[in-house]
Structure 1
Amino acid sequence: MVQVRGCVYSAMHAAGQINIFLMEPVTFSESGGIRYLHFGSELIQGAMRMRDPDEIYLEYNQQMMAWLLFLETKPGMQVAQLGLGTGALTKFQHRYCPAVKTKVVELNPAVIVSARSMFFTPDDDRRLSTLQADAKVFVNNRQYCNYFDAVQVDLYDAICDGPAASSLDFYKGCFNILKSPGVMTVNLFSRHKSFNVNLKNICEAFGNRVLLFPESHDCNVVALAFKGPKLEVEWQDVSKRAKVIMEKTGLPTNTWAAGLSRENARQEICLSI
């Protein structure tokens, strides 16, 4: 395991100064052609296949892109990513969703540096902007009210004791920054006391318009929450959309419709939420 000490140096070119941010150490490991991100422990915070850096390697990360099932990408579409990690979602969207503008919100500047230097996340450009900020504050900024078409939430710290942001106020903030229609995807721990707390708060913030993916092999569960008009669609149409996404991006979406239908009560015949 390679460790980057808990200091990140960023040059202030205009002033010729150096700012030092004291944060928890960001560490890395590699095995079998996979590079992993850690926050000073053996717990995995993200992963990348070295021979295909733009691939979304982890299953739950792949499911965080499930908003694509329900929203057509178009010029000017705005997506917020709360939590950067290895930049897997950022890289995927930058490559396969050229019409989308992505705003990444990441509190730890060391994660931003490592995403670019160790996981090949692109620098900011006209389609990508990175904000070093607290996501809990960001979602309550009135500047972003009804601003984003999709919001992706993957916020964990070194302890990994459930999501780092899980309050009702936080999820109401996520609802408020979404346009109508809009979709939020959230990474949750399925076998942890935090799961029921988060699910309850998401359901309350989004009026119970929530779907769950089946648990992935690493005990993650991705939740989808919807804002806007009621959605009624045949699962076969969702499957067709998933097939198009898979053909265009290589994302393994072929089991998504069946998994969502099976996992969620009263959704067996058609999707109605």
Structure 2
Amino acid sequence: MEPVTFSESGGIRYLHFGSELIQGAMRIRDPDEIYLEYNQQMMAWLLFLETKPGMKIAQLGLGTGALTKFQHRYCPAVKTTVVELNPAVIVAARSMFFTPDDDRRLETLQTDAKAFVKSSKNKGRFDAVQVDLYDAICDGPAASSLEFYEGCYNILKAPGVMTVNLFSRHESFDINLKNICEAFDNRVLLFPESHDCNVVAIAFKGPKLEAEWKEVSKRAKLILEKTGLPTNKWVSGISRENARQENRLSI
């Protein structure tokens, strides 16, 4: 397991895995805020799924617990299951980044995400899956095979949405995107590249999704008003970035 280390600068606390590469960040005076842009975009399933009692989200990779804390605070109807292999990351998220302890809305499993998505007991169990799996080398997702993404597809309900953090300036990007597209029948949208060279992919399972972008924009505005999540640029970015999606959402 990689060693877990920390640094602080300008009121921001950073998580590292024994190197200078950043694995997560938190504004100390606002620990429930999702600080990094790509992390914010990992919440894009909110654009397409209405939160409701009994809803279940799988979060593969804990990091600083940014997504966990946000969902725990702003999505009270949702139960989040966190899958994290490194026990030191779980301890760090709770002690250094103020992630809440497990309760009826939060379950933390110390296990391998690749085994988790292959388990038959998880089939069709989750409304959304968030995938952010990186190791100390940080040259691409630690799980990237077609088999892994087929597992992500299988643990989703229909309709269901997966968001994945990809590293755009590395050969792993094309490999991951190809496997995601194959596993999800090419029903994949991309955010524009963020300033830290991350690209978040959104993949869909279930009935075909057809909507006017202005309706999606209304949803984005509602999320912004309720949670402060900066969704105001999401719709324009997604519609521009993806071929044949310029005029309306059809996927």
Coarse TM-score class (shorter-chain normalised): over 0.9
Give a deviation string over 1:139-172, Cα, whole Å, max 9, x none: 0000010000000000000011200000000000
Q: Which residue of 2 aligns with 1:18?
A: none
- Look up the match of 1:78: 56
| Distance across 2 between alignment mates of 1:47 and 1:168 | 30
Q: CA RMSD in A?
A: 0.3
| The one of 203, 209, 228 aligned to 2:187 | 209
**TM-score between the two structures when normalised by the length of structure 2:** 1.00
Q: Which residue of 1 aligns with 2:197?
A: 219
Aligned to 2:82: 104
Query: Which protein shows a greater Rg?
Result: 1
How far is 1:24 from its partner? 2.0
Q: Secondary structure at the match of 1:139?
A: helix
- Structure 2 alignment gaps of length 5 or more: none
For 1:174, the equivalent position in structure 2 comes to 152
Contact 2:139 2:167 in 1 (8 A): no
Q: Aligned equivalents of 2:113 and 2:13: distance in 1?
A: 26
Match of 1:200 among 156, 178, 187: 178
Matched, 1:37 2:32: no
| Whole-angstrom distance in 2 between the partners of 1:24 and 1:243 | 40
**Which letter does structure 1 place at the counterpart of 2:86?**
N
Give CA deviations for 1:157-210 in whole Å, capped at 9, x if unaligned.
001120000000000000000000000000000110000000000000000000
Superposed counterparts of 1:125-140, under 5 Å? 125-140=103-118
* Separation in structure 2 between the aligned mates of residue 200 and residue 55 of structure 1, nearest angstrom: 32
Alignment of 1:116-131 (within 5 A): 116-131=94-109
Residue type at the aligned position of 2:221: K
Q: Contact 2:38–2:165 (CA<8 Å) still a contact in 1?
A: yes
**2:34 maps to 1:56:** yes
Tell which has more relative contact order, 1 or 2 (C-alpha 8 A, sep 6+). 2
Say whether 1:143 aligns with 2:121: yes
**Distance in 2 separating the partners of 1:58 and 1:210:** 22
Return the match for 1:263 from 221, 231, 241. Answer: 241
The CA distance in 2 between the partners of 1:162 and 1:84, in whole Å, is: 16
Aligned to 2:231: 253
User: Given the two structures, how large is their TM-score scaled by the length of structure 1?
Assistant: 0.92
Identity of aligned residues (%): 86
Matched residue count:
251
Q: 2:250 matched to which residue of 1?
A: 272
Q: Equivalent residue for 1:14? A: none
Q: 1:230 corresponds to which residue? A: 208
* Partner in structure 2 of residue 47 of structure 1: 25
1:88 equivalent in structure 2 = 66
What is aligned with 2:137?
159
| TM-aligned CA deviation for residue 217 of structure 1 | 0.1
Instruction: Name the residue aligned to 2:6.
Output: 28
Classify the secondary structure of the residue corresponding to 2:18.
coil
Aligned residue identity for 1:106 = E
Q: Which has the higher helix share?
A: 2
What 5-or-longer segments of structure 1 have no aligned partner?
A: 1-22
SS of 2:124 mapped into structure 1: coil
Q: Which residue in the other structure is 1:19 paired with?
A: none
Q: Which amino acid aligns with 1:186?
A: V
User: 1:262 is paired with a residue of what secondary structure?
Assistant: helix
Q: Secondary structure at the match of 1:255?
A: helix
Partner Cα distance (2:212, 2:39) in 1: 25
